[in-house]
Amino acid sequence: MPVTEKVPFALDIEDGWPQVATEHVWCEREGDTYTLKNVPFFIPGLALGDVFRAERDPGNDCIFEFEVLQPSGHSVVWVMNNDDLDFSQARKQLAELGCESESFPQFSMFSVDVPAGVGCAEINAMVDSLEKNGFALAFPVWRHDPVA
């Protein structure tokens, strides 16, 4: 029977980023197989709904490495709001496209889940708009076909 729990991931810090060493994400676990239940802020390579295998480190209980067994088809966009811009309208437009987002106010950051069913043209237009308006973006997982 699967168990839902917060799972700690050890993060690689490069040039002082991220400013945290661990990110905890909600997962459903069955043995050493997990399903990610929320969109991460600092874990590249994992998207909402991905099924992955990992072993926790016996010393600190963190996951250092994982293997995605079943990609969900979701993409992830990290939005950095370093200039204190108003993200509320963009967030509303993303929600209208079916993209949920989570905020991390301490780092002026948003993590956006882009479900598989969201059209690539719509999300590309939204991404272009965000960049044009001064938001810094990263794409730690991009699974949307650019031709779709």
Mean pLDDT by 10 residues, the chain (148 residues): 94 89 96 96 97 95 96 96 91 95 93 94 91 94 76
Domain residue ranges in the chain = 3-70, 75-141
Distance, CA of 7 to CA of 124 (rounded, Å): 31
Distance separating alpha carbons of residues 29 and 42, to the nearest angstrom = 20
Which pLDDT does position 146 carry in this prediction? Answer: 66
Maximum pairwise Cα distance, the chain: 47
- pLDDT value of residue 148: 45
Q: Is residue 109 within 8 Å of 41, Cβ to Cβ?
A: yes
Q: Can you tell me the distance from the alpha carbon of 144 to that of 45, in angstroms, rounded to the nearest whole number?
A: 14
Torsion angles phi and psi, residue 14, rounded to 5: -125, 130
Residue 76's pLDDT is: 97
Query: Which residues are CB-neighbours of 63 under 8 A, at least 6 positions away?
Result: 7, 8, 9, 10, 54, 55, 56, 57
Provide CATH code, domain 75-141: 3.30.70.2380
In sequence order, which residues have a C-beta less than 8 Å from that of residue 27 and are 6 or more positions away?
4, 5, 6, 7, 34, 35, 36, 37
Q: What's this model's pTM, rounded to 2 decimal places?
A: 0.91
Name the 3-class secondary structure at 97: helix
State the number of CA atoms in the 13 A half-sphere of 130 facing the CB. Answer: 26
